[in-house]
Structure 1
Amino acid sequence: MTSLTDRYVAATLRAVPAPRRDEIASELRASIEDMVEGRSTDGRDTVTAEREVLTELGDPAQLAARYTDRRLQLIGPTYYLVWERLLKLLLSFVPATVGIIVGLLEATDGENAGGAVGEGVATALTVAVQITFWVTLVFAVLERTNTSLNLPSWTVDQLPEGPVDRQITLTDTAAAIGFLALFIVYLPIQHVRSFVPADGDDNLPILDPALWGFWLPFLIAVLVASVALEIAKYRAGRWTWRLVAVNAVLNLAFAVPVIWLMSTDRLLNPDVVARFEWLGEGDNLTTVATVVVVSTILIVLWDIADSVVKAVRARH
């Protein structure tokens, strides 16, 4: 063999563990010699046959990976589906949830109220990048180290009874329940820890404490009922007219009190309004109320219309 084969073998052995180099070198040289000899019997000269054989064997690094059973990929087939499903689930609600929290905190700061939306969006994007990076890194390490997660093997018992065409996926349901749970938890928490400073170490509740007499418990009950609706939707797998009706009732049960309370200046805590001077300047408070009311109406109308369209599609 010429130096061309020697160079190919040496390049291959660079990516092979030292204890296996002699074994692989002997096996590889023998394979190349046999392949070259087989082509030479067809009338080709040795130099041309050797070049063709080495070209067919391909990149030495890839060949070394095959010899050592090493995957040349970031996320291999072993955990690809688990990685994909987990990443989609986390990205479906975690960045948006964190972004909303940061935006709300920024909105309570009079010095940066105008940048609350931008700060929330930037934080959500940062969280999405971080989640993607760290989840991918963890699974890449698991793949490269051949670490077993002892996941249950797939069996035919997991096959659905018949063709399933779900409108409502687990990811959608998890995201919706995550937002609702966040909202449910936030309503009582903001009463004691709103991050709106008062005198001393106290915090000012963002919502009027007088609403605890009826409206806040009522709104929390509506949100809990909405969680139950999300579970019912997932179990049904698609929108039905009954679910559309329940969804519309719950939307209106939440939106109408919020719109009425905001329009009559009963939703926000008067002490919070007094705490931030910009709310009392000109028509700023009226503008905030208008934005909240219009946004609430648009969200409700969109959600109801979306459920109706999906219910119509489900029937066809």
Structure 2
Amino acid sequence: MELIERYIYAVTRRLPQSQREDVEKELRGLIADMLDERMGEGEVSDSHIEDVLLELGDPRQLARQYGGKNKYIIGPVLFDPYISVLKITLISIVIAMSVVFGIKVAIDPIHIIDHFVSFIVSIIMVIPQGVGWITLVFGSVEYFGGINEQKFNVQKTWKLADLPALPDTKRQIKRTEPIASIVFLVLLAFIFTSQYFGIFVFKNGEFSTVIPFLNKETIITSLPAIIFILGLAVLKEALKLVYERWTKKLVLYTILINAVSLAVVIIMMTMSSFWNPNFMLELSQVHEISIGSGAYKTIETIWNISTRWIVIMLIIGLVWDMISGVIKIRKVA
């Protein structure tokens, strides 16, 4: 009976989520009828099941018959994860930009019309870019990642041994994990590129300025690297949604992506110019703290420790993401 379950899984996994339940019921009925025709009142054996499944043929071809389409940029295997990532990313972009808009209005309510116009223009410019990048990522996975089975595998003679194993619940990846990570990454992108990532300074109850944590010039010059790293991170989380469980291939992808990200993060964040070199000077001037005083040295120590630990925690997070996948694979191997 496991062969039947694997066959049904091999067909339905290639269909949109909305079709899977109906197709699964239809396939179960069809297989049961075919077995009844062969056996009548006799007992069903493994050889009879194998004959019926071989008669039904390649699950890929059967899935295409149910799907009704053979040409696509993003096929049915990836379509649901693609839509999920697209929705999550776009919602996160709107939320992040709304937060920035709210901050601008709170700081400078007089020019609320200008802020609103800027908000609308930014939405119009950023959302198509988000759609384009997500589509490019999934289209690349479809074309180069072996997912497009029509291109790579149709000519291959199908055998029962080609049926995929049923999903192992111990390796399952909760959808909430990659979804939460994508939301965090989008918000992180806006934080890094926002002029409001720093300490807000108010004088006489009114907003005065922001002392940035990061060096603006370095962020501008490093923007391609930042986008590259965040793009890789989103790709990694998208692959988790695609595979839905930890596999050796997914662990390998995670290790490669995290290794590249780790190298770039270490290079960027250990640069002396990454953090605002004038942070302590600006802070001391605003709060009238004498350079070299006890208060100044205490704040400077906190600043140095904080920036160091941010780098350490990022490194630990990337390394742990690699290790956790390997552990889950070994536990059920």
Same fold (TM over 0.5): no
Shorter chain as denominator, the TM-score bin is 0.3 to 0.5
TM-score normalised by structure 2 residue count:
0.39
TM-score, structure 1 normalization: 0.41
Greater relative contact order (CA < 8 Å, ≥ 6 in sequence): 2
Q: Quick check: which has more Rg, 1 or 2?
A: 1
